[in-house]
Amino acid sequence: MEAESTVRSCSIVLIDDDTVVHFIFGRLISHYCPHITFQCFSSASEVLELLKSKLLSVELIILDVNMPHMNGWAFLSELSRLELSNPVCMLSSSDDSRDVAKAKSFPTVENYFVKPLDREKIEQIIGVLDRIR
Amino acid sequence: MEGTLNILCLEDSTDDFGLINHHLKKANIDYLSRRVESREEFIQALNETTVDIVLSDHSLPQFNSLDALTMVRRNNPGLPFILVTGAVSEEFAVNCLKLGADDYVLKKNLKDLPQVIENAVRARAEESRKARMAADLARRNEELAKLNKELDSFVYSVSHNLRAPLRSVLGLLNLTRMEEDMETIRSYHDLMEKSIRKLDENLAEILDYSRNCAQELKIEQVDIEAVTMDTFEKLMFMPGFDKLEKVTSFDQRIPYHGDSYRLSVILNNLISNAVKYRDLKKTKQVLRIEAVVHKNELRLEISDNGIGIQDGQLPKLFRMFSRATDQSEGVGLGLYIVKEAVDVLKGEISVASKAGEGTTFTLRIPNYD
């Protein structure tokens, strides 16, 4: 992502360190709901910086859990510490109940999806988006 | 009873002390006895000499058996203590036992003393053996609990790391179902291959880790240059490997003896890191390997001009599942395995790095000559 000083605005931001997930997400969205705008990031801290400096405006964040440097949990904690209330959907390859419970403990988390993404989950994500709008 | 029994007698009467010795000798007990009669002498004897058992008269000038018993129990709870006394009431004797005396013998029954001593010493030895076993058991329990916890977190992280690329493959499979165009489907295949390779790499790391834990050290003469070249060969097809300029120097005038498997694990991880984290912004990407064998150790320096490591990440670099960069593709086991292997070899590893400039690993590994 090149640095821009203008505010970027989109409906959904995906944060995942695996670029294959970016690709899958992008393909599914442009196939099933081409009107939705989105951006993909590999680094949670980069998104946090953009949100903090209000250079990014987003309706819904899709967040991976297991990432190097700053993982999903650290990102959520930082969000709440900074009193940013962007709604979040978790997207993880873990279906461990401890992870699901932990996600629920954050008030900004709307839903928890287990990878892989498919049509049904994309529709659910859009459902969340419609609900919060 | 084993060895000579060191007996401390708190006794003001030399006649009674003589009688006690007489009965012990008669019973063929292997012992050394020492008589003290004041509080000061008693404390000094306990502190400065070996005492295996205390025989205490009841009443002495300025000191009595209850004080002596309290003192012994406070400082040495496992030391046998037997009251050897003239006439005392039954009640008093029972009270003494309650306070921790092992037994009591009336002076008119001194012939029973050897047996009483033997019983007390044996009971105490058994007690301390049990206490040692209990402590040992508690320590092992603690170790196991710690291992279990580590294993739990290991299984959690590993399964997660294995599932992530698998889930990506599943996601890509879903995509191929909605595509008709062969070209697009082929591009999905390429991405699947990438994920599967990642999975394979993760498994290889876990295997390295478990082999490093399980395999005994095998010491033989090792040609460092040959191990390095083998490693290069193994990494030949890694993307970017051919882009890296390799500068090597090996000084092996003194032969190195060590474990070639561990050494290759170390080299493999450090070199593949240099490939993975090479700095694409630099026109020349360089890997330097310098090995010098000394009589007592091998010094190995592996440096690159790659993207480097941020200061904050350095302290946790060698931890299990630590991933220092957002670019990281692995599970965070590589440098942990390196550290484990270096530990098995009883060596040392240190790292110096500057973000944007490069990283240098310095290793000192004993020469098992």
Q: Which residues of B touch A18 (CB under 8 A)?
A: 164-165, 168
**Tens digits of pLDDT across chain B (369 residues):** 568 999 999 998 899 999 999 999 999 999 999 999 889 999 999 998 899 999 999 878 778 888 899 989 988 888 999 999 887 778 888 888 888 899 999 888 999 999 999 999 999 999 889 999 999 999 999 989 988 888 888 888 788 878 888 999 999 999 998 888 999 899 999 999 988 988 888 888 888 888 887 888 899 999 999 999 999 998 988 888 999 999 999 999 999 999 999 999 999 999 999 998 999 999 999 999 999 999 999 999 999 999 998 888 888 888 877 777 666 566 677 898 899 899 999 999 999 999 999 999 999 999 997
Q: Which residues of B touch A116 (CB under 8 A)?
A: 167-168, 170-172, 174
How many whole angstroms separate alpha carbon A50 and alpha carbon A54?
Answer: 6
Q: Which of residues 71-90 of A touch B (CB under 8 A)?
A: none
Q: B177 touching A, CB under 8 A? A: no
How many whole angstroms separate alpha carbon A55 and alpha carbon A114?
Answer: 29
Residue-wise pLDDT tens digits, A65-95: 988 778 899 999 999 999 999 999 999 998 8
- Measure CB to CB from residue B168 to each of A21, A45, A68 and give the nearest one: A21
Grouping H, G, I as helix, E, B as strand and the rest as coil, residue B93 is: helix
How many whole angstroms separate alpha carbon B52 and alpha carbon B80?
Answer: 7
Q: Which residues of B touch A123 (CB under 8 A)?
A: none
pLDDT band with cut points at 50, 70 and 90 for residue A5: low
Q: B328 touching A, CB under 8 A? A: yes
- Measured in angstroms, the CA of B328 and the nearest CA of chain A are apart by 7
Tell me, what's the pLDDT at B2? 67
Name, in order, each residue with C-beta under 8 angstroms of B79's C-beta and a sequence gap of 6 or more. B51, B52, B53, B54, B72, B124
User: Would the pLDDT of A2 be above 60?
Assistant: no
Q: B185 touching A, CB under 8 A? A: no
- Measured in angstroms, the CA of B51 and the nearest CA of chain A are apart by 58
ipTM of the complex: 0.83
> Which alpha helices (H) appear in chain A, and where do they start and end?
19-32, 44-52, 72-81, 97-104, 119-132
Tell me, what's the pLDDT at B328? 56
Q: Which residues of A touch B313 (CB under 8 A)?
A: 69
Cα within 13 Å of Cα(B179), Cβ side: 18
Pick the residue from chain A with its C-alpha nearest to B184. A27
Beta-carbon separation of A68 and B163 below 8 A: no
